[in-house]
């Protein structure tokens, strides 16, 4: 009798709280279940030998098949979804199925995670996953897998998107490099992936993009343009392809007008710049010393002139942040036409330098990991008490995403003429008609005069040729998606705080031990 193929299930558990920039509302408006889906799963699938039958489930999109039979179930974990992962793992293990966990949370809380599964993978999987699967087949699964060194970037495979229902995903992730030279206090990236960025061979990346089943991409690199020579070649390779994409980059890129122009022509529609703070004290706390605050305004304008939306990332809740820090971000955004704000409340994440520092000072609030969602404070001792921090943060979201602010900011961002060029990916006529009908209905029937006014402003700018109509339409969709997230969050303000207070009351007093990725714990 022929032996059946071993079966592997790869799962990303759903998140307890959704992040604004998970853009689920935007995905829904575009008729998709999600805006993005974790890249780790199709990458892991590509690392499995072809003898394995592999299935992928992102629980934000689909049910986890807890009654089916598998030889191994593998979970990718962030702080915000690990507890859901534990609950699912219990169901599989009760059915006698082995479970492995990896990803940022599992890599930094190895021993804790091991209590909920049979094996943990610390760090990147490229040099480990094949051996792990062979150990499963030979019944000799080890509790911890950890590579001695970071994998060579040419070992990073092209993801198995054929295993994902990509029609339900708005933008597909692409990774060009791993690692970040900076060492911001609150960030895990340099601990997990090292400080020397490793670049995949350019041709492999371009070939992957040419073969993607979608035209909207999201580069997940921490700084796509860190190596200028590579970035220029990448843009040259992207130009002939009809793709539209967003990415994260360092402010440095805005000093290079030629590269910015190349990026816009290659389909870059938005770029995340990590400003983090508008105060010297905040930046010093974060150890973010590479740029000066007085460069920020010029950087945003450079992007808008190039026809690229700036997504400004800010962290609030530094120890030195008083009420004025929140007002300053709103005012700065308004002045600079910064509609897209990635606002995060400073969150002490496992394995970071911030965690070690704050824990040593006895100031860490040991919340369950799912609460570490960048909305709720998890350290004490700053200028503002926790409840005020939370309220000011939610108020900032409310005000910065008010229709009045969005209207004013759109006027400025579109005033430079950068967005006259049509968006790179042209929607079909049917899509155009249905989206336009929905936008007209929702904006013109709104009771908010500024929401109606924003629509009218953009319509007139479009008629005058100051902005391409499809750029205007994409902006209106995005603004609507972001605002509806904020509305839902505000409606849950007290409920969320109540759950936070309950969680605090249940935390055991010894739960605040500091860790480093895999350090010591694994042995």
Q: Using alpha carbons only, how large is the chain's radius of gyration in Å?
A: 23
Q: Which is nearer to ligand B12, 76 or 480 (CB)?
A: 76
Q: How far is the CB of 106 from ligand B12 (least distance, A)?
A: 7
Q: How far is the CB of 101 from ligand B12 (least distance, A)?
A: 6
Q: Which is nearer to ligand B12, 80 or 250 (CB)?
A: 80
Q: How far is the CB of 38 from ligand B12 (least distance, A)?
A: 4
Buried b / exposed e across 301-314, counting CB within 10 Å, b at 16+? Answer: bbbbbbbbbbbbbb
Q: Binding residues for ligand B12, per CB under 6 A?
A: 15, 17-19, 21-22, 36-40, 43-44, 74, 76, 78-80, 100-105, 121, 124-126, 129, 173, 175, 187-189, 193, 220, 222, 344, 349-350, 373-374
Three-state DSSP state, 345: strand
Chain centroid offset of residue 66 CA: 27
Nearest one of 252, 258, 454, 443 to 337, comparing CA atoms = 454
Q: How far is the CB of 240 from ligand B12 (least distance, A)?
A: 26
Query: Which residue's CB atom is positioned nearest to ligand B12?
Result: 102
378-383: list long-range contacts, CB under 8 Å, 24+ apart.
378/347, 378/348, 379/346, 379/348, 381/319, 382/317, 382/318, 382/319, 382/320, 382/321, 383/319, 383/320, 383/321, 383/322
Asked whether the beta carbons of 55 and 10 are under 8 A apart, the reply is yes
Q: How far is the CB of 447 from ligand B12 (least distance, A)?
A: 30
Q: Which is nearer to ligand B12, 166 or 436 (CB)?
A: 166
C-alpha 118/C-alpha 306 separation (Å) is 51
Q: What is the DSSP string of 106-119?
A: HHHSHHHHHTTSSE
Q: How far is the CB of 262 from ligand B12 (least distance, A)?
A: 23
C-alpha 284/C-alpha 415 separation (Å) is 34
CA distances from 305 to 459, 477, 488 (A): 20, 21, 33
Q: Which is nearer to ligand B12, 26 or 187 (CB)?
A: 187
Q: Which is nearer to ligand B12, 18 or 399 (CB)?
A: 18
Q: How far is the CB of 514 from ligand B12 (least distance, A)?
A: 14
Chain centroid offset of residue 56 CA: 20
Q: Which is nearer to ligand B12, 220 or 231 (CB)?
A: 220
Strands 177-178 and 198-199: antiparallel
Q: Which is nearer to ligand B12, 106 or 468 (CB)?
A: 106
Q: How far is the CB of 4 from ligand B12 (least distance, A)?
A: 22
C-alpha 222/C-alpha 198 separation (Å) is 12
Q: Which is nearer to ligand B12, 79 or 277 (CB)?
A: 79
């Amino acid at each position: 009798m022929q032996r059946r193929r071993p079966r592997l299930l790869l799962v990303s558990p759903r998140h307890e709280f959704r992040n604004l920039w998970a853009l689920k509302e935007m995905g829904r408006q575009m008729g998709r279940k999600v805006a993005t889906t974790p890249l780790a799963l199709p990458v892991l699938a590509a690392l499995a030998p072809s003898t394995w039958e592999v299935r992928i489930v992102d629980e934000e999109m689909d049910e986890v098949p807890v009654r089916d039979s598998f030889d191994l179930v593998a979970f990718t974990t962030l702080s915000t979804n690990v507890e859901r992962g534990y609950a699912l793992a219990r169901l599989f293990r009760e059915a006698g199925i082995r479970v492995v966990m990896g990803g940022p949370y599992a890599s930094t809380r190895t021993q804790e995670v091991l209590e909920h599964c049979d094996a943990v993978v610390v760090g990147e999987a490229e040099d480990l996953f094949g051996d792990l699967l062979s150990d499963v087949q030979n019944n000799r699964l080890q509790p911890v897998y950890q590579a001695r060194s970071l994998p060579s970037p040419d070992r990073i495979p092209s993801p198995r998107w054929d295993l994902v229902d990509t029609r339900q995903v708005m933008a597909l992730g692409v990774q060009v490099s791993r690692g970040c030279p900076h060492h911001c206090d609150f960030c895990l990236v340099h601990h997990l992936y090292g400080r020397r960025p490793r670049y995949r061979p350019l041709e492999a990346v371009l070939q992957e993009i040419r073969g993607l089943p979608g035209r909207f991409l999201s580069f997940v690199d921490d700084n796509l343009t860190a190596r200028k020579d590579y970035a220029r070649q990448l843009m040259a390779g992207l130009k002939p392809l009809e793709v539209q994409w967003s990415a994260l980059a360092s402010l440095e890129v805005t000093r290079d007008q030629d590269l910015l122009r190349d990026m816009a022509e290659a389909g870059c529609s938005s770029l995340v710049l990590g400003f983090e703070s508008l105060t010297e004290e905040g930046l010093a706390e974060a150890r973010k010393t590479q740029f000066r605050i007085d460069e920020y305004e010029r950087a945003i304008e450079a992007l808008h002139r190039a026809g690229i939306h700036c997504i400004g990332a800010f962290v609030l809740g530094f120890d030195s942040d008083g009420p004025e820090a929140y007002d300053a971000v709103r005012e700065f955004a308004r002045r600079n036409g910064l509609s897209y704000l990635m606002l995060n409340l400073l969150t002490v994440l496992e394995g970071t330098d911030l965690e070690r520092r704050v824990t040593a000072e006895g100031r860490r609030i040991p919340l369950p990991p799912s609460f570490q969602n960048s909305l709720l404070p998890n350290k004490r001792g700053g200028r503002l008490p926790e409840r005020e921090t939370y309220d000011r943060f939610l108020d900032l979201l409310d005000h910065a995403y008010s229709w009045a602010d969005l209207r004013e900011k759109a006027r400025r961002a579109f005033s430079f003429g950068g967005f006259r060029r049509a968006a790179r990916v042209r929607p079909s006529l049917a899509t155009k008609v249905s989206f336009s009908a929905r936008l007209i209905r929702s904006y013109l029937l709104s009771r908010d005069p500024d929401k109606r006014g924003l629509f009218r402003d953009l319509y007139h700018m479009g008629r005058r040729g100051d902005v391409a109509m499809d750029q205007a339409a994409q902006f209106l969709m995005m603004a609507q998606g972001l605002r509806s997230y904020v509305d839902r969050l505000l409606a849950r303000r007290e409920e969320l705080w109540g759950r936070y207070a309950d969680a605090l009351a249940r935390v055991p007093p010894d739960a605040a031990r500091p860790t480093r990725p895999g350090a010591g714990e694994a042995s």
